Amino acid sequence: MKQLLLLAAPLLMAQAPAASPPPSLVATSADEIANAAPANHWLDISPDHIMVMDTAVGQMVIQLAPQFAPMHVAAIQKLVRAGRFDDGRIVRVQDNYVVQWAAKPEAGKQPVSQPPDVREQRLRPAPLPAEYERSIDDVAFAPSPFKDSYAEAGWVSGWQAARDSSTGTVWLAHCYGTVGVGRDMPPDTGDGAELYTVIGHGPRHLDRNIANVGRVLAGIEPHAALPRGTEALGFYKNEKQRVKIARVRLASQIPGFPRWQMMDTASPSFRAVVQARANRTGFFIRQAGAADLCTLKVPVRELK
């Protein structure tokens, strides 16, 4: 059976070594570089910024990005702490696009249904402002050395991002595993009670059109493998098809939940990861010499 090629890890899961050797900056694989990166090339992720979602098909661990969408993240944290996502539903799976899920409507026991009725809308939290991009002031943007089809690609504190120098703004890029906030047609209707993650080619055309609030750290696989919805836009047809969310907690609410780290994108180790992903060896007989932003994922790891 042909291997086809080296591992393209969805989001790199390196085990933290007990004692980290100095980073090797010679051309090795991204995994090897991550495994060799010293402790000070990693950034801790606050357990208040990790959302743990237990569904009927598995556990999805999501990192929130308050530096990009502070009001949305605060609203989501509040919903989580209030148990609003418990007994929620995955309501939509569209091939090469998104898995989308919704908090349980507050108005009693009725199942999630589409479209939402007026009563449900009224009971939802107030709409949030359009936190689709932020000022480039006070953030350190590490530019990608490679071309980008959409804007200037790069990284901000461990996140795949893009910037527009003419508007002076920076935003989280839509890539595989990015988590965003669903909204209706007006741009201010997202309230954090309906979220999605990308399960296809990075839909960068969504950048600056919707609030990105985070990314999946682990557990996307069984959710990306859910049956695609048969209704328009991949919505599930009825309650029987929807996938139950047992509960959602912040990692800070779960005693003993593992710590997570992301690689510091300003570190020499990350620069080496970028070069390794652009110039793959082994199976590869010809190096691309470049890579697009969504391919240049930031290594993350669970500390065990």
Quote the least distance from Cβ 37 to a copy of itself, whole Å: 22
Walk across the sheet containing 152-156 and list its strands. Answer: 134-135, 169-172, 159-164, 152-156, 141-143
Q: State the number of CA atoms in the 13 A half-sphere of 91 facing the CB.
A: 23
The verdict on 98 binding a copy of itself (CB under 8 A) reads yes
Q: Does 15 bind a copy of itself (CB under 8 A)?
A: no
Is the Cα dihedral 276, 144, 224, 97 positive or negative? Answer: negative
Asked whether position 244 contacts a copy of itself by CB under 8 A, the answer is: no
Q: How far is the CB of 219 from a copy of itself (least distance, A)?
A: 10
**Closer Cβ to a copy of itself, 40 or 287, answer by number:** 287
**Residue 239 binds to a copy of itself (criterion: CB under 8 A):** no
Of residues 211 through 230, those in contact with a copy of itself by CB under 8 A are: 220-222, 224-228
Quick one: which of 71, 81, 110, 284 contacts a copy of itself (CB under 8 A)? 284
Nearer to a copy of itself, 77 or 100 (CB): 100
For the segment 147-206, give every residue that binds a copy of itself (CB under 8 A).
Answer: 147-150, 175-177, 180, 182-185, 187, 189-190, 194, 196, 199-206
Q: Which is nearer to a copy of itself, 63 or 264 (CB)?
A: 63
Size, binding site for a copy of itself by CB under 8 A: 81
Among 27, 235, 241, 266, binds a copy of itself (CB under 8 A): 235
Question: Smallest distance from the beta carbon of 78 to a copy of itself, in angstroms?
Answer: 19
Task: Identify residues 28-87 at the interface with a copy of itself (CB under 8 A).
Answer: none
Q: What does each C-alpha distance from 297 to 30, 52, 111, 122, 202 come to in angstroms? A: 10, 21, 37, 39, 12
194 vs 264, which CB is nearer to a copy of itself?
A: 194
Residues within window 99-138 making contact with a copy of itself, judged by CB under 8 A: 100, 102, 112-116, 130, 132
Instruction: Give the nearest distance from C-beta 46 to a copy of itself in angstroms.
Output: 26
CB of 90 to a copy of itself, least distance (A): 12
Q: Which is nearer to a copy of itself, 286 or 304 (CB)?
A: 286
Q: List 280's β-bridge partners, or say none.
A: none
Residue 94 binds a copy of itself, judged by CB under 8 A: yes
Residue 289 C-beta: closest distance to a copy of itself, Å: 8
Distance in Å, CB of 226 to a copy of itself, minimum: 6
